Amino acid sequence: MVKKGFRLIFIIVMLFSLMVTAACSNTNGTGDNQKVRLVEVTHSIFYTPEYVAIEKGFFEEEGLNVEMTTAFGGDKTMTALVSGNADIILVGSETTIYVYNQNPKDPAINFAQLTQTDGSFLVSREPIEHFTWDMLKGKVLLGQRKGGMPEMVSEYVQHLNGVEPKVDNEIIQNVDFANLSSAFVSGTGDFVQLFEPVASMLEVEGKGHIVASFGTGSGKLPYTVFITKQSIIEQNPEMVQKFTNAIYKAQQWVQKSSLEEIADVITPQFQDIDREVMLKVLDRYRSQGTWATDPILDEEEYHNLEDVMEYSGELQERVPYEAIVNTEFAKKAME
């Protein structure tokens, strides 16, 4: 069953069907640089290569003036794209599947992958030297929102490891994302699923211990991807190519640079995060291969995503890879 938020997206697609070309009409920046309205689903160290592209001037080198805003939610992010209020969005590929299954006239297309694993971690109250997933049996897990990719990945990883979620354990899903860590610290649940830097902050404070990675457990997925509309690709392919070129430069820079150098570059984006915590988070994400090393969304990863969605009961119908994935820009950037 398609979630309520994505029914809203479909309605908006219909309402704005006459505005298909609007997203390309606002791409004139100051001087010679072309304005690009980028909307990200949330603001997180998880998306480090994106901020490197901004702070290192890789977009400017390509002649782009990228104006980034944060939507704080997958539904809001996709709505910004389909309504013509964004040229490019950064969000999970599952959103393009939901939209495609509503038969839009102008489908959302994945063209450059940023992260290739889930970015959340399992945190326990006490350190566990040799954690195994069956330790979740009979326990209470503070989980993520129903139908969201973090929760789908959590349930899928448990299933792969012989634990049937909500049968072998209890998963609490009525706590807001922003309040998960405080609820855990106050005594709710035996384990909690958290993103960085919150997970590492609990470790530094001695209030929790990271015992497993959901990203490692689920394998590679097109977890967050840069997406645009088919009409924008057709009308402004040069902009999409330049954007992809900049992302690939950032991906390569992140792979060859030290953690200290990366932290120096992205600090303007995260001035409220302690340096020690930032380095810990960067190390954890890079060591587990969270960030894609190139912008190509490959077919195996895509089908792995559909497997995760299907197990969770959130996939209405499988969508052909070639229908919503365009790798031409990624391949050209790598040349």
pLDDT at residue 14, as a whole number = 43
Sheet holding 140-142, edge to edge: 170-172, 140-142, 191-195, 120-124, 209-213
- Residue for token digits 């977009």? 59
pLDDT at residue 146, as a whole number = 85
Q: How is residue 118 written in tokens?
A: 């889930």
Question: 207-218 in b/e burial notation, b at 16+ Cβ within 10 A?
Answer: ebbbbbbbbebb
Task: Output the DSSP codes for 195-210.
Answer: ETTHHHHHHHHTS-EE
State yes or no: pLDDT of 186 exceeds 50.
yes
- Residue for token digits 């702070």? 55
Dump pLDDT digits (tens) for 118-168: 999 999 999 999 999 999 999 999 999 888 899 999 999 999 999 999 999
Q: How is residue 48 written in tokens?
A: 């480090």
State yes or no: pLDDT of 206 exceeds 50.
yes
Mean pLDDT of 167-193: 95
Whether domain 120-218 has CATH 3.40.50.1000: the reply is no
DSSP code at position 224: E
What are the domain boundaries of the chain? 4-117+221-334, 120-218
pLDDT at residue 6, as a whole number = 52
Mean pLDDT of 285-297: 96
State yes or no: pLDDT of 219 exceeds 80.
yes
Do residues 224 and 46 make contact, with C-beta atoms less than 8 angstroms apart? yes
Dump pLDDT digits (tens) for 299-329: 999 999 999 999 999 998 999 999 999 999 9
pLDDT at residue 145, as a whole number = 87
Which among 106, 58, 118, 81 has a CA at the least distance from the CA of 244?
58
On whether the pTM is more than 0.85, the answer is: yes
Dump pLDDT digits (tens) for 53-97: 999 999 999 999 999 999 998 899 999 999 999 999 999 999 999
Mean pLDDT of 201-229: 95
State yes or no: pLDDT of 192 exceeds 60.
yes
Mean pLDDT, the chain, integer = 91
State yes or no: pLDDT of 231 exceeds 90.
yes
Task: Output the DSSP codes for 99-166.
Answer: HHTT--SS-EEEEEEEE-S--EEEEESS--TT--GGGGTT-EEE---TTSHHHHHHHHHHHHTT--TT
177 pLDDT band, cuts 50/70/90, is confident
Beta carbons within 8 Å of 305's beta carbon, 6+ residues apart: 93, 94, 221, 222
Phi, psi of 21 (to 5 degrees): -90, -5
5 pLDDT band, cuts 50/70/90, is low
Whether domain 4-117+221-334 has CATH 3.40.920.10: the reply is no
Do residues 106 and 211 make contact, with C-beta atoms less than 8 angstroms apart? no
What's the CA angle centered on 314, arms 311 and 316, to 5 degrees?
105
Which among 330, 141, 316, 104 has a CA at the least distance from the CA of 222?
330
Q: ω before 197 within 30° of 0 (cis)?
A: yes
Dump pLDDT digits (tens) for 7-34: 555 444 444 443 333 333 343 444 578 9
Is there a shared CATH topology between the 4-117+221-334 domain and the 120-218 domain? yes
